[in-house]
Every structure is written in structure tokens, then in C-alpha cells.
Copies of this chain bind each other. A is one copy, B any other.
Amino acid sequence: MAKIAIIGAGMMGSALAFPARENGNDVRLVGTPLDMEIIDACHKCNRHPKFTRDFPEGISFYQFSQVNDAIKGVDFIIGGVSSFGVQWFSENVLPIIPDGTPLLTVTKGLQDMEDGTLLCYPQLWRKTLDALGKTNSLCAIGGPCTSYELVAHDQSLVAFCGKDKAALEMMRDAMATNYYHPILTDDVIGVEAAVALKNGYALGIALTIGENIRKSGNENEIHYNSQAAAFLQASREMDLLVRMQGGTKDSFMVGIGDLYVTVYGGRTRKVGILLGEGFDIDQALEKLQGVTLESLVVAKRVARALRIQAAKGKVNLENFPFLMHVDDIISRKAPVNIPWNTFTQWRE
């Protein structure tokens, strides 16, 4: 039995409490300041407001004001914030965690630097921890796993990545269940790049769904040839991008599993469909008011980084016609016009 604190009571942080607690661990779910109502609800009825299923019995819920009690003596801490909470996590969590307590984070994303390099959050947080003089192991979760399906006990295969093998194994032993299956790998940048990149491409694939609706005028006009065609091109570009980041082939495979699930996964799909139907990005966001869209951020950042690298002669943008088109749509309101002919001519 391990003691585990989860910081961030959004859907994914909360979903991870299921396998953690069902394995008999001591689980403390800590809300961020944005999660206060969620934690109140958990106290009242042992259920996350967005889930259709109660938490397993025995989880302790904490407001962020109580975080020091929650993390005292834990074996590891799960960072459950979204990519919009990266800075907050850096400023409010990393300084207070006990030195040496390993971290396992689910935050997906990439940050582009001025020189066109892309860093994943474990790399950014490593810098913060180093500056704080802390030696905590930093591990991360990537791969195909939506929170509500994890809660439903759907079989899920994910990657736990990190350089500290003992920490990874301890986390795996604590978290693995008969429906939650972590692959262990030391390829942090590969996994993180792959699972971040898939967001932009999932949006690209969803464009084809919207285009068919626009052409037919029928909301139920779902075809799969065009989705598969877009999936093929997305896979080519993701493979190349993962390798450019120094990632392994198996991390790319984790990424295309994640791409598959993300095409069906709600928010990214919705904005892609709206864009494909012919709405511009402002109109699409207006229709999806209040929805947070990490996919847009990732696509823009990667495209921006690639354009900088291309200007330096380090990258050929012709290798990434799909991502560039997605970026043109969301950053410059270009009309949707998927460049199929460039896909047939594509050579790495």
C-alpha cells in the first residue's frame, strides 16, 4: 500500500483516484483553487460533479489550503493540473513538496522557446526544481486514456515515463489494476512530444468530419475514408516530429494510440468539426464557450517553433503540410482546404 496525493481535482486527476484507491492505497485528492466547488461536492456525495459514478470509498478530499496536510508522508504525488495550470503548479506546488518525493504528472503539452526548440513540462519543471535545490524524481503519464472511460473501467494502456526506474516501478505497482496498464519507459521527451502533438492532429482529422457535414448538409454524415486519410498523414508527420525531438518509435506508437482516442474524445473533435463545417476559429470558440482547448495551444506552439526552425534552415516545412494547414486555420483564419495533393507527393 502506498500513500498518494493527487493535486488537481479536474477530470483526469480525479479519474486517477479510481485505480489508485481501488488498489487499496491511501489516496488524498487535493483541489487547486479552481476546484473548490468540486472538492465541496466530493465531500458531500463522494462523486466528481462531471462523473456518472461515485469514487471508491475511502478517498480523502482536501482544499488547496490543506495541501500541506495532504502531502505529508506520501510516497508520491500525482500532478493532475491541465496545461493551463503549468505556471501555477510551478509556483505553488513545486516549492512546497518535500524534497525527494517523486512526482507523476499528467499534464500534456509543449512549450516553444524563442529559438524554436520545444520543451515538455517535465523539462520545464526540472529547471524549477533545480533552482529550488530539489532532487525530486519527475515522471509523467502519457498515452491514450480519457478520464471518463478510465472511470468506467475501460481497459487503458498508458505510458509512465521517467529517468528514475525505481520510482516508475513503485508508481506502476501502486497504480496498475486489471483495467489500467502502464508501460514503463525512460523516453520522457518522446512520450510527452507524441501525446502533445496528437492534439493538433486530432483537430485536423476532425476537420474531415465537419467537411462532410458541410457538403451534405446532414449532421449524421460520418465517413471514415477521409478520417483514415487524415490519420495516415497525421501519423507520418507525428513520427517525424517525435524523432526530431529525440523520441523513440515506441513513444510514437503511444502517440498514435492517443491520436485515435482523441479523435473521439470530445472537445478537440468538436472544434475540428465546427472548423470543417466552415466556421472560423472565433465562431467555433464562441459556440464552445467555456471549453478549454489544449489542442489549439499545442498546434500553434509547434507550428511557431517549426517556422522558426525552418527559417534557420533546420526544418523543411514541406514535411508538415497537415500541421501547417491546421495552424493556418486556427492562427490565420485560413479556410479549410486540406492539401490532399501534397499528401500524395509527401516524402520524408
Contacts and interface: CB of A to CB of B under 8 A. Distances in A.
Interface of A: 143-146, 149-150, 152, 154-157, 176, 181-184, 208, 211-212, 223-229, 231-233, 235-236, 239, 249-250, 253-254, 256-258, 260-261, 264-265, 338, 340-341, 343-344, 346, 348
Contacts of A258: 228
Number of copies: 2
Given A155-B211, A155-B340, A176-B344, 18 more contacts: A144-B224, A144-B229, A145-B225, A149-B224, A152-B223, A154-B224, A157-B228, A157-B344, A183-B346, A227-B261, A228-B261, A229-B257, A232-B260, A236-B250, A239-B249, A239-B253, A250-B348, A256-B256
Contacts of A254: 232
Contact of A225 (B144, B225, B236): B144
Greatest chain B CB density within 10 A among A149, A223, A233, A265 is at A223
B260 A224 contact: yes
Contacts of A228: 144, 157, 257-258, 260-261
A156 B344 CA distance: 11
Nearest to A150: B225
A256 B156 CA distance: 20
A157 B261 contact: no
